[in-house]
Structures are given as C-alpha cells and as structure tokens.
Amino acid sequence: MSFIDKDLQSIQEARILIEQASVAQTMLLEYPQSLLDRVTGVAIQELTKIGPTFLEKAVQESKYGNLIDESTLLNRVLTSFSEDYLPETYVGILTYGTDGKVLEIGVPLGITVILLPAENTIVNAIFSILTCLKTGNACVVVPHKRALSATQDILSYLERLVEENGLPRGSVSCVSHLSDEGVLTLLDHPQTAAVINIGNLNYTDTPLKNSKPIFYGGTGSTPVFIEKTANIQQACQQIVTSRSFDNGILAGAEQYLITEALIAQQVKEELIRQGAYFMTQEDEVKLLELMKPYGTEGCSEVVGQSAVNLAFRAGMTVPATTKLLVSEQNYILTENPYTDELKFPILVFYLEPDWLRACEKCLELLKEKRNGHSLVIHSKNEDVIEEFALKKPVARVLVNAPATFASMGLGSNLNMTVILGGLTIGHGVTAKNITPKELTYIRQIGYEKAAPNVTTKSASTTIPQEPTIDGLIKMLKELAK
C-alpha cells in the first residue's frame, strides 16, 4: 500500500504552477495591448454564452446563492467590463509629451495569485481573470474547497481558450491539490508579484517573507440610514431588493438599517410591503439556534440561503413571498451574533430619535467589528449627506442607491468591480474598487530640462568704506538742492 503526502503534493504543484507562470509572464511582457484586448474580448464573448453553465454547477456544489441572480450579475459584469475597460490602454505607451517624446508606460505587476471565496465564486473568478488578461499578468487561481470542482472546470476551459487565441501556456492556471502549505508556497514565492484575496480570511494575517501588494476584497456589514426627508418607498424597495439579491452574499449588501423615530412606522410598513418579515422573539430564538456556531466563519450552513428556506429550516412560519428577515435590536453588544458579518438575507433594524444619534449608531456599528467598508444614506438633505460623507470611516458612501449594485459600480458613478478594496476594514493595500489599473504600475520617463539662458552679474567683492566728514557734508548739500 502506498501513501501520498498531500501537503508535499500541493507544495510541488504550487512550485510548478509558478514556474510555468514565470515563463508565461516573460513572454506576456512583450505582448502589445491590442493582442491582450483581442484575447480578453474573445473570452468575454465566450463566457457570455457558456458562463451560466458554470454558474449552475457552482451553485449546486457550494449550495450558496441564487442561479438566476448570479446569471444576471455575470451578464452585467461582462457587459460593463467590455464597455468600461476593454477600450482602455493599461500596458505599453500611455502618454506622449507635446514634443512627441514618451512620458508614461504602463507595466504589468507580474504573476498574480487569486484566492477565491466560496460565495459567488464563478463571477469572482471571471472578473479577476479578465482583469489579469487585460493587463498582461499571468495568474494562478486558488479555488475554495466548497466550489472546487466548478472552479477547476471553468479554469480548465479558460486555460484552453486563451492558449488557442495566442497566449502562452501558464498565462492562466488553477490549483488542483488544495492545502494550506501549498497556498502559502504560492503566496510567499519570490516570483509572485501580487495577491488578490477575495474574502478568504484564512490568509489575511499570514506573515510573508517576500513582501508584495495584497489586494483584499470581501463582503462587509454595510449600515444603511433612512433619514426623514428620504423617499421611503424607493429606499425600502432598493434595500429589500439589494439585500435579498443572490441570497445576501454579495460584497456591499446592506446588513444594518437605522432610521429616525419620526418615520419608523412608515419604514416598517413599507419594508413589509416589499417582502420583509419582522421576526418575533420566538422566531429570533429559532433562527439563532440555526445559526450556531456563531461568527463570520461559523454559521456556514445558513450562508447564501433564501429567507423562506431559512425560516422553514428554523421552524418559523412566514409568508411564501418573504424576501428578507428583519431583527429589531436596541443595543450593539459584542456578544450579539447580529453584530457579526451575516451572509444571508437578514436585516438588523435600529431606531434612533434623530439623524445625529443615527450618525453615532452608524459609527458604533462600523467600529464594533471593523467589517464595514461601505455605508448607505437615503436622504434629500444635502447637509446631512455631507456630514455622513465627512465622518464615516468607510471607502464608499452610497447615496439613494441599492448598496449591492452601487458599491460595485453597477448603476453608479463608481468604477465597476466585484472586488471592493478592504483597507478601511484593516486588510489589503487599497480601499478603492479593484480594477485593471490596480494590476499595473506606471513607469515615468524623465528628460533633462534645457538650461535657462540667463546672465547674472558677479557679486562685488569691494568692501564699502565708511564715509568721511567731508563726504557727508557733500551729500547733504546735494540733498538740499
């Protein structure tokens, strides 16, 4: 009987993948933007047709999310990538001076390791790989064990596709043998130039001997405030649609709702009309039991489940049209499971007497577990909006918009992405939306300035003499004339 050391097998595979990616990267540095664009364009066209097949397999394998919603999201992401990023130039000569000399050149960062999450893994994989293809960066993808087979299938497909269209072998690759040791080998390899970590908390605090930029993007507990001047119907409709989309697993989805006492009843009634269900104390006990063990990584079996499914499993009776579960809370307590990041369609409802107290509540929620990278405000009062924008420690303040989509740049003025930079929650090197631009650096070309044609007088070395009495008399006579 023979035994295979899986850790050693994983480490060996990691080294081989990096070696292949290194050869590919050397070749990719010679590829013009036009060729990279052609391959990226072909990938977008093919994924538009075949993408839903991989989505279906991932949803079935991980048991997270909603296939219809993820298909809609993939279509929007591919369309936006094609319109927003495909026409842009990121590598090669970027700008010339008025004299025709080169001033800036875009350069790929190099081999990029991509750590995928269990949730929405296919859309995250596709966006990350397209970003690498567009910018000429070889990439090695690390699947999540919960969606291993589906991820390996789409990566195998993309590997063949890019090679058939002119990119070198090793430009896109995927880990087959998963282990912590193998992943750490990839992350800490001297030839790994950058890391994209999409919500994989297992490796956020791993010390690396070979430093490199880590672009962290994950989900977060987004607070949303409905102020008394807001369009309540529109705000509630957006919140329910956004939080329930893909069963609550997308990056910027609302988790906490804070509103003023003056409009609280209207907000509750409108939320119920839109499909929200306010839980009783008995319901709360049942749901909390289902959520055990508590914590971001703990309650994995409730992640990405629909509100109706969760209610059924918890033994609650809710309308068949329920899209969202709502828990009313008075205080923020560290031991309260609702202060953790919750990746399913639930909304925690807080009531405050006025917008100033609501502002303080938002700050408390953002600081409690430091896992909120975005904030939403529904209001027509520009002074209140400005105050929120100035004071909140978040990377994105979204105004009168559904957080799930607006934070990703879908239907808002932000850059489109599925990776929301996590600097404000203590992870990664940037708080911005991660786009192709982040995977390049700009090489600036400096030229010597022509020396100015200016003549200067030499400083006098004559030491002035003290005036004599006769000299002073002469000066006074001259002044008196």
Give the mean pLDDT per block of 10 residues along the chain (481 residues): 76 97 98 98 98 97 97 98 98 95 97 96 98 98 96 98 97 95 95 94 77 87 95 98 97 94 97 98 93 65 94 96 95 78 94 92 82 91 94 93 97 96 86 96 93 58 58 63 59
Please tell me whether residue 188 adopts helix, strand or coil conformation. Answer: helix
Residues 185 and 241 in one domain: no
Q: Of the candidates 115, 110, 133, 134, which has an alpha carbon nearest to the alpha carbon of residue 125? A: 115
User: Residue 44 falls within a domain, yes or no?
Assistant: yes
Q: Of the candidates 154, 135, 233, which has an alpha carbon nearest to the alpha carbon of residue 436? A: 135
Residues 135 and 270 in one domain: no
**CATH number of the domain bearing residue 52:** 3.40.605.10
* pLDDT value, residue 103: 97
Cβ count within 10 A of residue 108: 24
Report residue 48 as tokens: 């538009």
From residue 198, alpha-carbon distances to 192, 203, 434 in Å are: 17, 10, 11
Q: Is the peptide bond before 87 cis (omega within 30 degrees of 0)?
A: no
Residues 124 and 207 in one domain: yes
Range of the domain at 160: 6-218+435-443
Dist CA 96 CA 271 (whole Å): 55
Dist CA 129 CA 133 (whole Å): 6
How many whole angstroms from its chain centre is CA 60? Answer: 25
User: Residue 322 falls within a domain, yes or no?
Assistant: yes
Residues 141 and 246 in one domain: no
pTM of the complete model: 0.91
The radius of gyration of the chain's CA atoms, rounded to the nearest angstrom, is 29
* The total number of structural domains that make up the chain: 2
